[in-house]
Amino acid sequence: MQHASPISESSTDLYGLPAEDTNITDLILSSCAEDPRASVYAVRNGAGAWLDVRFDAFLGQVRDVAKGLIAHGLQPGQRVALFAPTCYEWAVLDQAVWFAGAVSVPIYETSSAAQVAHILGDSQTHAAAVGGDELAATTREAARQAGIDVTVFPMSEAALRVLARDGAAVTDEQLEAARTTATLDDAASVVYTSGTTGRPKGAIITHRNFAAASINVLNFAAGVVDYHPGTNSRTLLFLPLAHVLAHAVQVICLYARIQMAHSGSTKTLQEDMASFHPTWLLAVPRVFEKLEAGIAAKAEDGGRGPVYHAAKRTAIEYSEALEAQTHEGGPGPSRALRARHAVFDTLVYGNVRKAFGGEVLSCVSGASALSPELVHLFRGMGIPIVEGYGLTETTAPATVNIPAAYKVGTVGLPVAGATIRIADDGEVLVKGPIVFAGYLRQPEATAESMDGDFFRTGDLGTLDEDGFLRITGRKKEVIVTAGGKNVYPTPLEEIIRQHRLVQHVVVVGDDRPYVGALIVLDPDELKRWSLDRERTLTLEEAVADEGVLAALQEAVDQANATVSRAESIRRIRVLDHELTEDSGHVTQSQKLKRAQVLADYADEIEQLYRGR
């Protein structure tokens, strides 16, 4: 099949935006008016089942809570922090803050007092809704550190009732005056970046950004979430709502009348999926990696390891054949492959689908790269995963694969209204109504982040002849060896991180004679791996264990098979402890702070290059 040369710009037409003097709440109200009885949320009934929440009932609660906020002195434009795990009350308060004309400031529930202090102080937050006594104490300590006064109140069902009662004297006219204060270009939320390359900055996400996501991303990706008249599309949100991707998706779903339920703890996730039966899911790559590792471990524990691994190979082969058929005109899966696939569908794949609730039609993966092998594996098992790409500054989705236009190994086409451009140095640039309004009180950083109307993402990528974007690495993370070879660490790290024993990996080699890697083990998987071999290994013992090192070398060899010898990893060093948020090496969204790791583990890196 003959292909043209790669292109430098790709775009998709805009569907439209509402009037300039409106805001995101107007879109929500118009959607409710179309079908006020639609079930937009579901909440637990305390007996293992779910109760539907109608659109009109939800907005009634939002209005009452917004009146309570106004009664307590909240003024349009002031900022309210939302500091709690993913839950229904988070959704109510998110909308209530906007109905009161104010601005939300989401904070990860895992944040330390110092991190919260930076956010509260930088955003000059007026009030904070918190999920429990511990987070309330953290907020008060953070406010003390920041030297500001913050009104702290609980984010709970009981607290919402109190707010609604306190707002009884606020009139509908007062509420409407507050709700209509903001226009499309006003701030709706200040979302803090993950801090992988420095101190977190407050990205101003406007009502226009959320409206563009609601209208344009939804219509572009309608097939992903089964958004069609008469369908019962529903999803279980379990990512932190402080993450811009989950936050934007929640707003999109409400506008689309896609029913949502919340799961605030990984401990109940399996149970929640089994009882709610979502039709699609939103997750980050680490979730899929852990799920696959858990499935494999369970099969090994039950003596079905060989069957599972044969099923895994078949699923990948089946998906790869479908991909070749779509994009290269191949014949598709052979009759023998289809027969094998059908057998394993009965023995293995059906049980995997049941673990997702039994009705999942697709999954969306974002926030970081997912390996093509995992994409093929899950698609081959009947759970298609579509990858997307975006950043805090693009209100999350800037590109996404969709059923009608799908390429494994890419992050898809630009969403409607967005333009992707590849700069001369390979940097990915994004333009469109989803691009943020700048960093809060940081005009210089804002100016540096823009190239005209285009946002500089800091990521490197390419566009193929069909306009699909492929991310190849981070601009600041390209390794140049002493021999002058450019090495992109991300693809190598993705492959190694697939191994069940690996939690994190950092490829190194700047100005060095060859490429090396630091590897951090997953303690839970190490325990299971050890028990499978009738052993017990600690992290400290594992770093020198021949079996562990041999297993890791297999993963490294797989990565090395994808690059030239000059780019291959020659030596590895295994750390005897975890890298965590508390250690300062992982962000709340579980991204590794590469620069911090390189600085703090300089001695370990040096060991990679001492002798042979």
Question: Does the pLDDT at position 196 exceed 70?
Answer: no
Question: Does the pLDDT at position 349 exceed 90?
Answer: yes
Query: How far is residue 74's CA from residue 433's CA, in Å, rounded to a whole number?
Result: 29
Which of 28, 86, 50, 58 lies closest to 160 in space, CA to CA?
Answer: 58
Distance of CA 409 to the CA centre of its chain: 17
Q: Provide mean pLDDT across the span 228-256.
A: 91
SS3 of residue 416 by DSSP: coil
Banded pLDDT at 593 (limits 50, 70, 90): confident
> For residue range 268-288, what is the model confidence (pLDDT) as tens digits?
888 899 899 999 999 888 788
- Report the pLDDT value the prediction gives residue 1, as an integer from 0 to 100: 32
> For residue range 451-461, what is the model confidence (pLDDT) as tens digits?
999 999 999 99
Report angle CA 384, 390, 394 to the nearest 5 degrees: 140
> For residue range 89-114, what is the model confidence (pLDDT) as tens digits?
999 999 999 999 999 999 999 888 98
SS3 of residue 85 by DSSP: coil
Banded pLDDT at 125 (limits 50, 70, 90): very high
> For residue range 137-158, what is the model confidence (pLDDT) as tens digits?
999 999 999 999 999 999 999 9
Contact 408, 427 (CB under 8 A): no
Note the maximum CA span of the chain.
Answer: 77
Q: Provide mean pLDDT across the span 349-362.
A: 91
> For residue range 210-234, what is the model confidence (pLDDT) as tens digits?
999 999 989 999 999 888 877 789 9
Cα-flanking dihedrals φ and ψ of residue 240, to 5°?
-60, 130
Question: Does the pLDDT at position 338 exceed 80?
Answer: yes
Residue % of the chain over a pLDDT of 90: 59
- Report the pLDDT value the prediction gives residue 192, as an integer from 0 to 100: 93
Banded pLDDT at 589 (limits 50, 70, 90): low
> For residue range 6-26, what is the model confidence (pLDDT) as tens digits?
788 988 888 888 999 999 999
| One-letter identity of residue 110 | T
- Report the pLDDT value the prediction gives residue 2, as an integer from 0 to 100: 37
SS3 of residue 151 by DSSP: strand
Query: How far is residue 243's CA from residue 251's CA, in Å, rounded to a whole number?
Result: 13
| One-letter identity of residue 190 | V
> For residue range 28-54, what is the model confidence (pLDDT) as tens digits?
999 999 999 999 999 998 777 899 999
- Enter the pTM of the model: 0.84
> For residue range 163-179, what is the model confidence (pLDDT) as tens digits?
999 999 999 999 999 99
Query: How far is residue 436's CA from residue 191's CA, in Å, rounded to a whole number?
Result: 10
> For residue range 383-440, what is the model confidence (pLDDT) as tens digits?
999 999 999 999 988 999 998 899 998 999 999 999 999 999 999 999 999 999 999 9
**CB neighbour list of residue 290: distance below 8 Å, 6 or more residues apart:** none
Banded pLDDT at 88 (limits 50, 70, 90): very high
Query: How far is residue 507's CA from residue 569's CA, in Å, rounded to a whole number?
Result: 8
Query: Which residue did the predictor score with more confidence, 610 or 322?
Result: 322
Question: Does the pLDDT at position 197 exceed 70?
Answer: no
**CB neighbour list of residue 87: distance below 8 Å, 6 or more residues apart:** 131, 155, 262, 264
Q: Are strands 450-451 and 454-463 parallel, antiparallel or unpaired?
A: antiparallel
Distances (CA, A) of 409 to 3, 465, 469: 17, 14, 9
- Report the pLDDT value the prediction gives residue 198, as an integer from 0 to 100: 61
> For residue range 475-504, what is the model confidence (pLDDT) as tens digits?
877 788 877 777 878 888 888 988 888 989
- Report the pLDDT value the prediction gives residue 94, as an integer from 0 to 100: 97
Banded pLDDT at 337 (limits 50, 70, 90): very high
Contact 99, 175 (CB under 8 A): yes
- Report the pLDDT value the prediction gives residue 565, as an integer from 0 to 100: 82
Q: Provide mean pLDDT across the span 514-539.
A: 87
Joined tokens for residue 167: 């707002």
Question: Does the pLDDT at position 4 exceed 60?
Answer: no
Distances (CA, A) of 234 to 38, 256, 284, 416, 542: 12, 11, 18, 23, 43
DSSP notation for 464-497: -TT--EEEEEEGGG-EE-TT--EE-HHHHHHHHH
